[in-house]
Structure 1
């Protein structure tokens, strides 16, 4: 019998009474306007979606050097810090690298369909972002493939009404430093803002993890008349980082800052350009025409593609040789999206219709490496380049039609129905002679999917908002899984996810308290999972059926001096049907890296108008590291302390992260199948988290806010 979530009734009552999204600044939850739920500004109380907004005040308060420092404050969201911007994400899904999320910049996916990267948020310049909106659950009816677990939309900063210039600097005791800059100016009809950063990391607690990054975002807004505007955004981000990789259990326990690597690296360059023409060209209508371009290269000799055996018991040695690979990937995208919104019945009825076209030619090349290793220290000492493993191109083409109907039959009730039809084509050409080691024969294949959505909101009072939502998400096999993985014959199926949401939002009459609770049930079919054959070696497979269900909650309070919030989720993620062979059946087991509890809480105090002090706690419960549910990571609790002081145009801030110097892992997994002898040093891997880190910063802004 399938087990369902069972929470103590008292706990449920407390959560229902005190749940909330993070505390808002100078705005209540139900007054919040979001754009990601319908691609146009809409009051959250009319949006039947589990959606949260991280506003400008929170971003300025936290000054994140890593996106997880703000996203983890959202109920049901957790982003691991794998170092130098690299990450994995959990939104209504286990902590994963799977293509179940959509990351967007002003509503445009930052990567095309089929070319998902779980690290893709390092291609966002946070200094150029005004706010972040997070949709939890499938959003494929508007945003297409991969928006299954959720979508994260980064909204760029527009120019302010008055001239402004900013410069800042921050540094940590772990060798990290960052320079920020920005300028902004406006006239009667146009505005321009340019914001960027340069950062590097040298030394620190890990023996091999230096990096440098840079990013710049330019946004230009132009009024072409009373009815027409033109918004143009250009973003460039660059990353070069060494890759320390993971450790076996013995080394994680005894020397967490150690690395076996001496030559692994990743280099990324990402350029995006978009221009959106928007006009109220007919009564009650709004038309938006958006053209965009992407150029991306990711070249790497990655630590996760070095295949060597772990340490054998104390006194033994490592294997003296290993295998590895380099990967070079690049793509260019050209896309166009046309959307029209029309209001009827004195705005009680709203229709949104749209179409999008996108073409993305990409190239991929992989080389095999023969690697040498010191058998006593475990350090990889050198390599020689061998044969070409993969050399192919794929022309990725996507076409979509979408529509959404919003109807308000009563003042307090809004009904929403929508759907999107996607056709995605992979035109694959293998430049090598096809074989089990060089890839499949050239082919063309297409995927077609319709993603519907139904939702409703009800506002029985000005303080209470209830909503429900039924939606479908989907994810076609990734290009890298289909043609670059270890599968000799590509036969992966698209994954489909069906979701049900029930939620309530509350804001007190005095606007000091706000709260939210959401229940969800997400069923995945043919979900693609990564099956670990041995440490560092895995392949994609379709699981027959999976279940994801949980409750997201929180509480927020803000007054002049004090503010507090408590956000979190309790969830279950299970395989309902998953047989990897005739003898291995994981049906009914928990999925790997699926903590049941994720909780983030913070208390802040402002003893003066210029000074704010805060303490934050992040809790992650234990989870199974293996498919057989026999090996566990015990979870962790981290304490972060922050202080900031503002005086005229200057601001000073400091942060103490992992203040108790807790030993923990950002990622823990095991290849143990549940059959045969268990060898933790050969089968378990850990990516250690950072120890106590102290950061200080200073920023000066010239010009009125």
Structure 2
């Protein structure tokens, strides 16, 4: 089926503008500040995702979107998906509780290793090692206390290697090491409660800080709930020769999970939407990261080294699989990020770095109860252990960037070379038998375990960027780059049916992007066009073999706009029109899907809002999030109609220390699906959208 491009749907509402990162040749932060002040903007000039140290001028920012502190406060997101609505090209599909499926210049990513298409960080530290990603891993970051979320779209920087195919999301936690005290309380519909605390103290040339978030949410569906605890610690030392910044984040999630509801447009029925057909499903997860960044300068050269440690543990029922097996996984790792920045002369800079990571992961999947369903499922999905293995990953990467600037021109050329080795050890019987060696009926068991082995992968990601500063307010740029991701351990070692080994290659993407960004008399804008071609895409074919011979195409246009309509009225827009298609012979449901649109890839996603500052202390706003129709199966035979959801808010600043915010989400109580899907086993299935709900927030700060 062919469809002509449609115009992005216009929405009105509360969406703070995406703060545009600026790292311009002839426009310093000091020069920009008066302009922004005159326009009454809150655009932040930050490049931490484009560079690891403040002394560096960073990469040409390309399509770098920043959801700043004001935007995060206005949105007061219950789930990270709500915060990322403010980024053009992002389309996160919320599951139940804190679960989600990501999308950034891509279809919604799903499957065993799909999370490898997007790199997620907190304070510049990868949340997980490149071979052990988890599709929901952003809930392991402290987004609730973030001072900003930076989103770099596309494979635009040699700083990032494997997994940065479609982009990078970096959650920046606040520097709490300065004297302050803040506390907040959220009370909402369906038993939602959240408490936030932030405090810090200074002494001599040091500082200590603490941020805590406690969440308790009973949810609107039967037998669902979320209890989540997050703690972030910070330390700062400012010496004459060197400075040190250190951080630690611990998160803990205890979630009772509600699964899909089934049946065509079942989400439109209020009673069905509230039901939970997987009452035993749960997810328990904890994560700990600690890091310390040491910076020092000698002459015209700045050095940075950041050692870190990570640990994650997770147990959950796979309610989306036949037999609902239990998975237990954990990873423990250490790594170092480093960077040397040299000012060769006034116009030329060099940056060089080496990154290393060693992570050991363990994986266990087992099933206690008999599988329900057809005779085939009962026979091929047995009780007992399905997988039991451990993997040690060794990663080593080096990168080099050369930056040259002259007058209004700026050129950057760089590349990253990375090697990843897996040492896999199978701890149970090889093959597709039951865990006691018995054969399954219908030709064998569903799950197949390969022999112990080693796998080695290498990737090179070059990048060429050119920008021209037209004047003090406007810049145009272009970028040509290549990104890659190594196969995930889940793709290599969790095989099915007759497959005994997965001979996979690195997934690669070639990207070209052109864009313009800048400031107008009454606003700011970021406009970008991109085209990406992916090769060696990894998928499970019609024989249930994990292979890497797929190809896909991705193209789109994105616009982020912040416009001051009047002295008190501001319009904010973030929207994208895109197309994502299969580009090689590939069979699904007995059909060749070459040329089909990729499922769960709406052409249009947009948010456009109005904020009304009625007085210095009172403001109101409303927003409309629109998602267009999309196919729910690779054959393009089934689809979801799309949706429009309206939010509204009111904010009162009673005094410098106390403010109150009231948010009404889904104000018109629309019946919609957060995620729509189709499988040959279940037919249409959905995660229903949440009904109308109200959240009252009270914030207090002592100083």
State the TM-score, normalized to the length of structure 1.
Answer: 0.87
Give the Cα separation in 2 of the matches to 1:561 and 1:357: 50
Tell me which moved more, 136-145 or 30-39. 30-39
Residue 260 of structure 2 corresponds to residue 246 of structure 1: yes
Match of 1:500 in 2: 512
Aligned equivalent of 2:460, options 450, 457, 477:
450
Residue 403 of structure 2 corresponds to residue 396 of structure 1: no
SS at match of 1:122: helix
SS at match of 2:491: helix
Q: For 1:145-177, what per-residue CA distance to the aligned partner results, in whole angstroms no more than 9, with x for missing partners?
A: 11001101112211365x211222112112211
Kindly report which structure 2 residues correspond to 1:537-616, keeping only aligned pairs within 5 A, or say none: 540-558=546-564, 560-580=567-587, 584-616=591-623
The answer on whether the counterparts of 1:432 and 1:438 sit within 8 Å (CA) in structure 2 is no
Shift of 1:6: 6.1
Give the Cα separation in 2 of the matches to 1:301 and 1:146: 26
The answer on whether the counterparts of 1:31 and 1:45 sit within 8 Å (CA) in structure 2 is no
Aligned equivalent of 1:647, options 651, 654, 657:
654
Give the Cα separation in 1 of the matches to 2:474 and 2:545: 47
Change in CA separation of 1:539 and 1:654 when aligned onto 2, cut-off 3 Å: farther
SS at match of 2:73: helix
Give the Cα separation in 1 of the matches to 2:554 and 2:4: 10
Shift of 1:582: 11
Aligned equivalent of 2:198, options 176, 179, 182:
182
Residue 145 of structure 2 corresponds to residue 128 of structure 1: yes
Change in CA separation of 1:284 and 1:7 when aligned onto 2, cut-off 3 Å: farther
Give the Cα separation in 1 of the matches to 2:285 and 2:57: 36
Q: For 1:645-703, what per-residue CA distance to the aligned partner results, in whole angstroms no more than 9, with x for missing partners?
A: 1122111111111111111111111125xxxxxxxx83221111111111111121111
Kindly report which structure 2 residues correspond to 1:631-646, keeping only aligned pairs within 5 A, or say none: 631-646=638-653
SS at match of 2:158: helix
Give the Cα separation in 1 of the matches to 2:542 and 2:630: 17
Give the Cα separation in 1 of the matches to 2:647 and 2:139: 22
Provide the aligned C-alpha RMSD in A.
2.7
Kindly report which structure 2 residues correspond to 1:114-193, keeping only aligned pairs within 5 A, or say none: 114-139=131-156, 141-159=158-176, 161=178, 163-193=179-209
Match of 1:313 in 2: none
Give the Cα separation in 2 of the matches to 1:270 and 1:560: 45
The answer on whether the counterparts of 2:19 and 2:67 sit within 8 Å (CA) in structure 1 is no
Shift of 1:105: 1.2
SS at match of 2:261: coil
Match of 1:378 in 2: none
SS at match of 2:552: strand
Give the Cα separation in 2 of the matches to 1:71 and 1:662: 21
Kindly report which structure 2 residues correspond to 1:451-530, keeping only aligned pairs within 5 A, or say none: 451-486=461-496, 487-508=499-520, 510=521, 512-529=522-539
Match of 1:274 in 2: 291
Shift of 1:644: 1.4
Match of 1:53 in 2: 66
Match of 1:108 in 2: 125
Q: For 1:38-92, what per-residue CA distance to the aligned partner results, in whole angstroms no more than 9, with x for missing partners?
A: 3344899972521111122222332222212221111111222223221112111
Q: For 1:409-444, what per-residue CA distance to the aligned partner results, in whole angstroms no more than 9, with x for missing partners?
A: x22111011110010001000011210245100000
Give the Cα separation in 2 of the matches to 1:359 and 1:149: 24
Tell me which moved more, 519-528 or 126-135. 126-135
Match of 1:318 in 2: none
Give the Cα separation in 1 of the matches to 2:638 and 2:690: 23
SS at match of 1:143: coil
SS at match of 2:72: helix
Q: How many residues align?
A: 650
The answer on whether the counterparts of 2:420 and 2:456 sit within 8 Å (CA) in structure 1 is yes
Shift of 1:23: 6.2
Shift of 1:302: 2.5
Aligned equivalent of 1:80, options 93, 101, 104:
93
The answer on whether the counterparts of 2:117 and 2:166 sit within 8 Å (CA) in structure 1 is yes
The answer on whether the counterparts of 1:46 and 1:457 sit within 8 Å (CA) in structure 2 is no
Shift of 1:539: 7.0
Residue 75 of structure 2 corresponds to residue 62 of structure 1: yes
Give the Cα separation in 2 of the matches to 1:45 and 1:577: 37
SS at match of 1:144: coil
Aligned equivalent of 2:672, options 664, 670, 691:
664
Change in CA separation of 1:405 and 1:44 when aligned onto 2, cut-off 3 Å: closer
Give the Cα separation in 1 of the matches to 2:199 and 2:341: 34
Kindly report which structure 2 residues correspond to 1:3-14, keeping only aligned pairs within 5 A, or say none: none
The answer on whether the counterparts of 1:86 and 1:119 sit within 8 Å (CA) in structure 2 is yes
Match of 2:421 in 1: 425
Unaligned runs of 5+ in 2: 11-15, 21-35, 375-380, 433-446
Give the Cα separation in 1 of the matches to 2:344 and 2:2: 47
Change in CA separation of 1:354 and 1:179 when aligned onto 2, cut-off 3 Å: same
The answer on whether the counterparts of 1:169 and 1:698 sit within 8 Å (CA) in structure 2 is yes
Unaligned runs of 5+ in 1: 15-19, 308-322, 376-383, 673-680
Give the Cα separation in 2 of the matches to 1:146 and 1:71: 19
Give the Cα separation in 2 of the matches to 1:582 and 1:266: 32
